Chain A
Amino acid sequence: MTEIIHVENLSKKFINKKEKTEVLAVDTINFSVNSGEIFGFLGPNGAGKTTTVRILACLLKPTLGNAIINGMSILEDQENIRSIIGFLTENHGNYENLTVKQNLEFFGKFYDIQNINERIGDILEQFEMLDRIEMYAGELSKGLKQRLALARTLIHDPKILFFDEPTAGLDPIAAVKVRELILKLKSKNRTIFINSHNLEEVQKVCDRVGIIDKGRIKRIGTSDEISKNLWEFRILEIKLKKLSDEIISRLSKFDFIKEIFLINGCIRIHLKNLEEFTPIIVEKIVELGGKIISVEPIEHSLEDIYVKLMEDSKINQPSGEK
């Protein structure tokens, strides 16, 4: 896979001249996003997510470092970069006093679109909004406003998309539609960078995630990769037709088992190495006459990963810092 976004030692410091304070919003971050990938950027409020996206979208200049977007530097090629990206902001950003058509016309004019009216028709049909073309954006429901914002973001068929909290404030059905659209865009080989608080959403649609806190990247990778690095032990869940105390007591004698306990009629075992020890455990249960219904490794959810990282971050925080 080819890298389409490459971030190198990117930093952004905000200086408040009145209050004579400095805030390091982004602190020497490095990462890359591959072409056609959906990359999720997670972090608490004020972690530096939006600042990072604004720098990558050439809205803010970095204090230090650089990023290469589709072979162009954010320090030199701002206009060219902005012409190949789409940016869905956290607030839908539609002009409420303009009609749906006027909104799309305005944004579409800045790109070299051959037949703008045809393009508007196509995109509104895709978003099932053709019948609302003459409605004022301010008259649309929240879900439709977000759909218009998405249509606007995609009007020039951008190669890279930045979505800042794309489903924030949407009802579950509208949110599902947005997620479906994101996956559809991936199938068209678009690269998508999502800033989100919604861990479930990120887990569902993203190929890889970056977790940022206090301007620094804590972890980067797939959920599995991050999970493996975060936890020493992994969990194996075994469901038996009939549980017996003997099986549990015999299994707990294995020194490679860290912990064993019962949850909802299943045995949960904490192990260091699932691949190596699962066959031994299964063999032992069968030997003891246990009838196995299922054996499944329990993966840590992105939420578990996120919570652990944020807790670790608090523990490692220097005293006095809040």
Chain B
Amino acid sequence: MSWIREGELNLLERISANILTAGPMPKHVAFIMDGNRRFARKKNMERQDGHMQGFNKLAETLRWCKHLNIPEVTVYAFSIENFKRSKEEVDGLMELARQKFEKLLEERENLEKHGVCIRVLGDLNMLPLDLQQVIAKAVIMTKNHNKCFLNVCFAYTSRYEITNAVREMAWGVEQGLIKASDVSETLLSECLYSNNSPNPDLLIRTSGEVRLSDFLLWQTSHSCLVFQSVLWPEYSFWNLCEAIIQYQLNHKSIQKARDLHREEQVLQQLEADCACVAEQLPHHGNGKPADAQRRQEALQHYTVAREARVQDFLEALKHKRDSFFTNLCSETVST
């Protein structure tokens, strides 16, 4: 089964899609694809087949999203907590992932045609080496595509991601690229695995569970959350439409809350900068209290310097991350 499904929507679906896209559409939808095992149990299938069905549904959902003009999708494929499952199941899931990513490499032309960029979010070091290499190849192959984006969270939990971001910032401090006082909400967001995507507008969890299970906690703090009771392999176009209507109903108030949050963020940054300048100024001055104009100038000066520092650091971080993937790829060539 391939990642990219061709095919048009049927007439009724197309009309509904047209109606829905007349309203505000989410630019980025995140899915927690829950219920594969329950589906397998219900249908008396093997567990592995349930996971397989789940993958097929993902391919179908991507097709719907394409028709609904949703350019970015993030899915929770495998949590770090899932390593606690039985060895047999974990191995099965790893095998499935390996097959699917290999399949992806074969579909190169198709991916290019649709401009699909695939990113994998999570700590790849936790995975078997051969899977890491396949993933790295797929990521590098599609990294310049820019029409639609699929983020696969693999060996991922949100707390781990946030901790990792803190670790990266600490690395920057160690390298002398940034100061500890440069740490801010924006910088932390830039250090997350998801730094290349906007925050999801809509998060959908299937199978009736009503929690986030450590998925995109930071990014979805102002997203519309929709919990649906259908099991993932039974997910339909109409379920997706329902979720989008929910989003559209909530759109205005969430937008307002987001704006409020953004203002707050700017204010906090300004406060932090002011505090840093206030700390610096007495050292420069000749013991005289700094006047307003000088303080203003110092603040501007400081802000520019901070932004330059942060920019350099982000550049270095990006380079570090890119070289992780290229190294993985070149290893496969040499072996």
Are the chains A and B members of one assembly? no
B residues engaging A (CB < 8 A)?
Answer: none
